Structure 1
Amino acid sequence: MRRVLTVLCGLALLGLAAFWYLTEPAPLPADSFAGLSPDAAHGQQVFTAAGCASCHMAEGATGEAQLILSGGQKFPSAFGTFIAPNISSDPDHGIGAWSLQDLGNALQRGIGRDGEHLYPALPYTSYQLMQPQDVVDLYAYLQTLPPDATPSQPHDMAFPFTLRRGLGLWKTLFAAPAWAIDAPDLTPVETRGRYIAEALAHCGECHTPRNALGGLDRSRWLAGAPNPSGEGRIPNITPAKLTWSADEVVEYLTSGFTPDYDSVGGHMAHVVENMSKLPESDRQAVAAYLQRVAPVE
């Protein structure tokens, strides 16, 4: 019996060591942004396309108040309620004291400033595809925005989802950097549309169904999904259901009006507001990309 217990304890220790190794946060290489010069003006476009204000502004903010990134909006899910943190330039309650490397690790590796795993409510599974220059430019623009001293609120999560270490395994399973549409014959316009839709605007995070562990089902890319709030369903925007022409998609992303003269609502209204501020060529690129997505009934 003593020998059996010794073996079991040894196996348990090996298992714990393996778990600790597999769940260790893996930050970006120290030279990820070496030699890149910031362009805050371009960073504003990255900020807009990525929808940063849509999640991190205060609930109900309008106009210039949307640039006060005090956080506080609540996003319910099957795993608990995520509460957007303050990412203003305040050095104490926001990210004003963060380095470029800190921001890059959060956006592209899902790692906080203190080395902890971040919940994928921050769509780093998409942002990890961002070009390093865009991260540099976004960092420069964020520093120009007003500080706000509103403290971030803790997420409302139940055990075991409060144990962040396990997110290391989740990342291994579901956060490998890869394009959902990886066709070798994409045109430059379609490639640009893919970058906006998959990396910056993270369309797949809402429009793609997820498995029981919260990972995206990439075999049904953009095929629609239950609304995390429990109310309604986020639509299928593959060519199987979205039969609009490219011009109609561009119009929708510009004005918010569908071909049937219905108008955008819900969180998608923020997406359209952001898209409408981008160059029309970017909206045309997204429309071209959507027509290359595999149709899913």
Structure 2
Amino acid sequence: MIATTLLHPDAFLSPLAIEEAVGRALDEDLGRAGDVTSIATIPEATQAHAVMVARQAGVIAGLPLAVAAFQRLSPDIAITAHVRDGDAVAAGVNVLTLSGPARAILSGERTALNFVGRLSGIATLTADYVRHTSGTKMRICCTRKTTPGLRALEKYAVRCGGGFNHRFGLDDAVLIKDNHIAVAGGIRPVLDSARAKIGHLVKIEIEVDTLDQLQEVLDTGMADVVLLDNMDIDALKRAVAMAQGRVVLEASGGVTRESISSIAATGVDYASAGALTHSAPNFDVALDIDA
């Protein structure tokens, strides 16, 4: 089985990112001596059959990494996938079936479950946010508040849950925050400087705290996106009326499952929530040996 065939068809994750993450995780777990417990207790020729089971309802993500972990430990492990990333599952559903060398299956168990548990948790939480935006044009997106070293995977999981990605890093778009504005001397100076130095394909987003600042940005005509930071519902509605579609509007700060419906109803284009990646509960998934 090729692990990448289980990727969500509309999400972005490089096969190289899968390979690198799996290798790092296995190195961390196996250390210098390997799985000493399995080596000491399981004869080398022993075969096993196992199922990976979702113990709760939710959205699956991370299966390509689980498969890659097992296959890296032994190409003789036969794996059947019953779902793919992005699929919604009920509690008790088998997501993978594995047959092959018992030592390799046991050695890869925790690494595989860690990936699926973490990423499915993000996908499941994101899907819950997305459900609250039904009937509106607003898209929910993640932030850079990700686990160091796992950003590409966690942002992929957001896509699996129906969300969208904000910047992947500091290098793929300009996002002018309040501290940039303060150091540069104001909104117009900071936008003048940014527009003069970036390429024509690089977007500029600028953060504002007040409607007066939004008006100043609109008057310059130099921003593509305006981030409305910690504005209440009334201010968001007024911002939409002021912008009249001239810029993309993103709500940020205080974006929770309790507030997301009201934010979506204001007419803003995007809402970003760090909670999608920094506060998603782990998805309950297990590996059961049945033979």
Compare the two structures and name the one with the higher strand fraction.
Answer: 2
TM range (shorter): under 0.3
Higher relative contact order (CA 8 A, sep 6+): 2
TM-score, normalization by structure 2: 0.26
TM-score, normalization by structure 1: 0.25
